[in-house]
Chain A
Amino acid sequence: MAAVTPLLLLLLLSSAPSFSSGSRNAYNINGRVKIPQGLGTKGYALPGRMSNVKVLLNGGQNITFLRPDGYFSFHNIPAGTHLIEVSAIGYFFSPVRVDVSARNPGKVQAALTENRKGLSELVLEPLREEQYYEIREPFSIMSLLKSPMGLMVGFMLAVAFLMPKLVENMDPEEMRRAQEEMRSQGVPSLSSLLPGGARN
């Protein structure tokens, strides 16, 4: 993702007088959406496939689409401060604040609202890729062992294997005493519950 951010260039807004011959207060906003190659290889929007990307002005008041090279334009926009949002499945775009100036046409400013970064050219790039699904971890012993169940089993195995070892090292006299003590206290011992406990 670090590679993406430096690429975030800025915005260029031009009021194109060649088209807007109608009212004096209408301007065009032209820009470009750029999805860097390498991103999006995981499937939702194939690289270069821009047909499902929408560009929205002021919360959906105007909607436009991308040309194959990623360029888009909004026509007949009044001067003022506007908000451009890009909707693309699989990518997170920051909304962009665009100021269209009436006093000096052609002079426009734009900034990403998420991180307040100014743009000198209207090239919009995704801030990050969005992964909508949990990734199924490939089967690995470590992940199993780390889970609560794994820890439980680990502990039980430890008890099952290490406890007899501890008992072995004990003095037989001491052990008998301890067993008698336990019996007298009426605490049911584990061994008496097991089938092998019949021996006692």
Chain B
Amino acid sequence: MAIMSFIFVFFFFSSLQPILSLYEDQVGLMDWHQQYIGKVKQAVFHTHKTGRKRVVASTEQNIIATLDLRSGEIFWRHVLGPNDVVDGIDIALGKYVITLSSGGSILRAWNLPDGQMVWESSLHGPKHSKSLLLTTNLIIEKDNSLIVFSNGRLNAVSCIDGEVLWKKDFEEESLEVQQVIQPPGSDFIYVVGFAASSQFETYKINAKNGELLKHESTAFSGRFSGEVSLVSSETVAALDSTGSILLTISFHNGKISSQQTPVSNLLEDSPGLAVIIHSSVTGIFAIKTDAATIFIRVIGEGKLEVVEKTNHETVVSDALTISEGQQAFALVQHAGSNIHLTVKPAHDWDSNLLKESIKMDQQRGFVHKVFINNYIRTDRSHGFRALIVMEDHSLLLLQQGAIVWSREDGLASIIDVTTSELPVEKAGVSVAKVELNLFEWLKGHVLKLKGTLMLATPEDIAAIQYMRLKSSEKSKMTRDHNGFRKLLIALTRAGKLFALHTGDGRIVWSHLLQSLHKSESCRQPIGLNLHQWQVPHHHALDENPSVLVVGRCGPSSDALGVLSLVDSYTGKEFSSLRLVHSVAQVIPLPYTDSTEQRLHLLIDADKHAHLYPKTPEAIDIFQSEFSNVYWYSVDDDNGIIKGYALKTKCSGNVADEFCFDSRELWSIVLPSESEKIITTATRKLNEAVHTQAKLIADQDVMYKYISSNLLFVATVAPKASGEIGSVTPEESWLVVYLIDTVTGRVLHRMTHHGSQGPVQAVLSENWVVYHYFNLRAHRYEMSVIEIYDQSRADNKDVWKLVVGNHNLTSPVSSYSRAEVITKSQSYFFTHSLKAIAVTLTVKGITSKQLLIGTIGDQVLALDKRFLDPRRSVNPTQAEREEGIIPLTDSLPIIPQSYITHSLRVEGLQSIITVAAKLESTTLVFAHGLDLFFTHYAPSRTYDSLTEDFSYALLLITIVALVAAIFVTWILSQRKELQDRWR
């Protein structure tokens, strides 16, 4: 008996209930999190002190971050607001990172080791201007000071507490200040600029108190254009507005003298329009023309000399002072698959301090920026390291001819994501590598068991964690039974396509798309979206799946489109097309051809429809479904929603049988003086709905109105389309519509008085949930609308079913004009929202949860049952049994249901849900600056064992049970024998 009970105790350890939320030691088991900073705009090294070497970077995504120079890891990072663009960064006093942002109006100091903000100053001025940040070692009133020029005012700011020590306004209307210069070792400052584009002005200012010492100005015949380049602390170089005359202006001691040199004098062939490249190398400046980059040296009194002319893509770094009076700068040039990094001293162009050639991945494109830093080698010579920013936004550190580390920061700006299946596992491959030997397997499970019983030592816990994270099962490159392993294909703003493995988030391949590459015919290519082009599963299994990348050559909607087809297994771009029409909309059609390529309809700006792929087979398939294709367009600016169908082949002058004219079916014009469209939402195309019927409390049935043509539109009063607090509740309202996009019928319209945007909405099955701001209560609200089909309600009658007098088998059509009823309810919600999504499962049986991206960059899972319009304060017994929650005025926030647990997905933009093959589980991918991926089971994993399940325990239990049976059998036999003898 003792044995039996022991076994029992054992047995139920193994079946402890799984819990919806996570235990702390389960972090990283199903989820992964990657942090990025975006495309680096400016970088400052901090390597002087002993201790950790860092680099401080500001990026185009308004991030300020410090990275470990050894590994590229992030020490700390702050995401500034969307309008808080960083203008300049620097390090002051060796311990503060100074940032100037918001058009020069906010100056902040951050503690270098831990990123704590130390002080913040708000700088204002008389007018808008260029913002310049200059750190000096000037000491004013015992404080080290910074010189900031912004908004037409020169400020001296204390480094210690951010206090403004003195300020000087430059109110002259036409003055454009270009540079603020402090000649080394002096205690005055030059402010240099243009007035009325043709006068050159210098102001000499006492750095101690802001007093104007001298003001000089000289007029020029031509006009200045663009930037000036600082040649020395008292000389600048500039170009005139025609781009053909170079000016070197020196203002020694406030006296302006200048030299004009036509660019054509320096170069034999006419270079065309030139621009000055910003650099700060003493004695040398660079101009860039269409064909070449030209380096020009200034000799003595304004004499110019061309030192080098390069035809390659060349990037120059800023000057770096390596020793007293000696400056160096770096040049990076491309040559085939290599890049050449050259470091030269500023005074001598012909000698090199360093010349390295580094093999560079072609998929990173051109070098965009380079920052250099030096260190003293053991032999007291200078060594250099260079940080380079590539075309795909990645960041690399080069040192001693090798890439020390690289960061894929392009992933901080994902435009669109789709998924792709992995290849099917072929027999006899990779299995052997995965299976451990029995002993190790058992040992692992014994460790796990110890963990469950809370008996494990810290070392054991570490071992368990390592084992779980390493589990090669989840990062295999083949399809799995549960559909957890997939490829996430992400298109970034740099025009690069990445494939990430869902198991561990590693990059499987990445490809810089040729079609989105800058070229003569396509000057400003931008990626738009991704579609699954070919998903082979029945007929064409030997084909690899592929994705369609849609882009266009410019920001306006009538720019010509570009298409790329990319193999999802290898990342090879097997087809790239420049279209002759624009792309306003892409409609994936529910038809595929014999090789399982999906038919896509591209709508251009003139409302012509173009069919892809352009094959005769596609056109045959399409012709038969010609009359079933409908689409709609939303014109936000004019408040018009229109529905279209296809008419005939294009009537244009070119015979293009893949082009079709459209006809307008319906249009809804919203009154522009009272309503402005701010949000629309539709159902996901791939969403599965298990059943149309919904059983309610008293054995009754309601039929959901399920239509894939449902469109949710939210409009606000034009006045209220601004930010919160700009309008009173009386003059703002929010109107929501549910529209059938085939017939243009408005199924439901509702007004929320005293509410305003921004509106985040999600539409799924027969309901829509949206989030907005209630000005009266001054709180956020979430509302739900559910829509039911009343015309099917009669089918409840059993007799009708028996007689056959029912309409259950009649096809669902938008034209049948179903009678619908809607139910709606609103609740308060605490946080602002950045994104909202809903869980998606393969068959749609599992109950739904909303995934809410909060303002704190966390993702909260909220059961849809909380947003059920049938909630009431006192539900009846029957309703309680059905699972209706008593009504509360606000939605609960349960910390354990944050699926991102204690992590932040900084800059959260969107949440993508993908169904796994296992019905209970949704794959959730949230992206912004960071990436986060996890598996989520809205109703727990009812169809599989959890990760925690210990097979070893089960095995031990079974063995023990069998042993016990034998032992007890022997015991009872013996007892029986004794009984018989008695």
Contacts and interface: CB of A to CB of B under 8 A. Distances in A.
Task: Decide if A and B are genuine partners.
Answer: yes
B832 interface: yes
Nearest to A141: B9
B587 interface: no
Contact of A147 (B17, B117, B830): B17
B724 A59 contact: yes
A15 interface: no
Contact of B830 (A65, A95, A139): A95
A189 interface: no
A66 B117 contact: yes
B732 to A, nearest CB: 12
Interface residues of B, number: 76
A21 B124 contact: yes
Interface stretch (B19-27, B185-193, B288-296, B314-322): B19-27
Nearest to A160: B1
Interface stretch (A67-75, A117-125, A168-176, A179-187): A67-75
A113 B896 contact: no
Contacts of B84: 62-63
Contacts of A130: 895, 898
Interface stretch (B74-82, B214-222, B568-576, B737-745): B74-82
Interface residues of A, number: 62
A134 B118 contact: no
A61 B83 contact: yes
A49 B111 CA distance: 12
B942 interface: no
Interface in B433-472: 453-455
A5 to B, nearest CB: 17
Contacts of B893: 92
A162 interface: no
Given A60-B81, A139-B453, A44 B23 contact: no
B946 to A, nearest CB: 13
Contact of A50 (B1, B81, B83, B116): B116
B830 A94 contact: yes
A66 B116 CA distance: 8
Contacts, number: 177
A44 B4 CA distance: 45
Contacts of B4: 160
Interface string B18-41: 010111110100000000000000
Given A67-B119, A139-B454, A195 B972 contact: yes
Interface string A40-66: 000010000111001010111111111
A31 to B, nearest CB: 13
Given A133-B23, A133-B901, A19 B124 contact: yes
A89 B114 CA distance: 17
A195 B855 contact: no
A67 B724 contact: no
Given A62-B81, A134-B22, A161-B1, A51 B895 contact: no
Given A92-B895, A134-B23, A149-B12, A51 B76 contact: yes
Interface in B833-865: 834, 855-858
A132 B902 contact: yes
Contacts of B79: 54, 63
Nearest to A131: B895
B16 A147 contact: yes
Contact of A76 (B19, B81, B122, B725): B122
B8 interface: yes
Given A157-B5, A195-B969, A59 B758 contact: yes
Interface string B107-121: 010010011111110
Contact of A89 (B25, B896, B904): B904
A101 interface: no
A133 B725 contact: no
Closest A-B pairs by Cβ, 5 of them? A149-B12, A87-B856, A63-B81, A130-B895, A59-B832
Interface of A: 19-22, 28, 44, 49-51, 54, 56, 58-68, 73, 75-76, 78, 80-83, 85, 87-90, 92, 94-95, 97, 113-114, 130-134, 136, 138-139, 144, 147, 149-150, 153, 156-157, 160-161, 194-196, 199
Given A49-B116, A114-B830, 10 more contacts: A44-B902, A59-B758, A75-B106, A89-B858, A94-B830, A131-B895, A133-B21, A138-B454, A147-B12, A195-B969
